[in-house]
Amino acid sequence: MRAKERAQLAVERLKAVYPAISELDHANPFQMLVATILSAQTTDRSVNAVTPRLFASYPDAAALAHADPLAVEAIIKPTGFFHTKARTIIAASAALVERFHGEVPPRLDDLVTLPGVGRKTANVVLGVAFGVPGFAVDTHVIRLTRRLGLTTSSDPVKIEAGVTRMIPPADWTGFSLRLILHGRRVCLARVPKCPQCVMNDFCPSSTVRAARGRRPLTATGTRVRLSHARGSTAKRSGRSRARR
């Protein structure tokens, strides 16, 4: 099977298991941008624990741009690297006010000019907040695309370029988000849970193989529960639904 065929099959298999969402709580593009910056080197749960207070105190770019860095640091401290992150989100907010009338621009070329915003963050914001196709490459996406044999590179820019040539733009955002979710739950860095993987019949790195002629399923009763800005989404395998 060629890499392009594996990519297209991976898109379909993951689409049946995961919703195309970010687990970062947000109500608008500004909140999504700030939350994504804060998510570096920490968990989404840690970010979601601090952003309600942060956005209650600084509801928009103008407010955050004029914030006291020490006050911001005190709020976001649980996310780690809080000195740098506080300076970054304040500087990014100031740039939004100065150059974009306080609004988050819906263009990648504009987003990457903001302090602390690289292609990964920009693509997440574009896809989640604006519905603009973007393929975000984080450590999970790097690991999974290599294991799936979609790339041999560890360079996020090269991975983004290669994978987006294999699948339609309409699938870019969803595939990236689902790879991240799958990497967190099943395709773990140290010990991947290959028996539970819906791609174990064609993934070249799989330690198991599904029975010939059968589409692999997640473990019976597997439930994908995701917390995000619009509540929780749960998906069960077809077998578990049939029991209800």
Question: Which amino acid appears at position 225 of this protein?
Answer: R
Determine, yes or no, domain membership for 240: no
If we measure between CA atoms, which residue out of 93, 92, 57 comes closest to residue 76? 57
Task: Report the pLDDT averaged over residues 135-143.
Answer: 96
> Rounded to the nearest 5°, which phi and psi values hold at 207?
-90, -5
Question: Has residue 58 got a pLDDT over 90?
Answer: yes
- Residue 73 belongs to what domain range? 29-118
pLDDT, residue 210, reads 57
If we measure between CA atoms, which residue out of 89, 93, 115 comes closest to residue 104? 93
Share of residues in the chain with pLDDT > 90 (%): 84
Q: Structurally, how many domains does the chain consist of? A: 1
For 2-42, write each residue's pLDDT tens digit. Answer: 999 999 999 999 999 999 989 999 999 999 999 999 999 99
CA distance 64 to 87: 10
Q: Residue 68 sits in a domain of what CATH number? A: 1.10.340.30
Q: What is the mean pLDDT of the chain?
A: 88
Determine, yes or no, domain membership for 129: no
3-state secondary structure of 200: coil
| 213 confidence band (pLDDT: 50, 70, 90) | very low
Give the CA distances from residue 234 to residues 147, 209, 226, 228, in Å, rounded to whole numbers and listed in that order: 26, 27, 7, 12
CA distance 31 to 106: 14
Q: Which residues contact 20 (CB under 8 A, 6 or more apart)?
A: 173, 174, 177, 178
Catalytic residues: 120, 138
Structure tokens at 147: 């294991």
Task: Report the pLDDT averaged over residues 46-58.
Answer: 97
Determine, yes or no, domain membership for 36: yes
Structure tokens at 141: 């996406």
Determine, yes or no, domain membership for 154: no
Determine, yes or no, domain membership for 136: no
Stated pTM of the model: 0.82
DSSP annotation string for 125-191:
HIIIII--------HHHHHHHHHTTS-S---HHHHHHHHHTTS-GGGHHHHHHHHHHHHHHTS-SSS
Determine, yes or no, domain membership for 173: no
Determine, yes or no, domain membership for 107: yes
Determine, yes or no, domain membership for 205: no
Pick the residue with more confidence: 40 or 238? 40
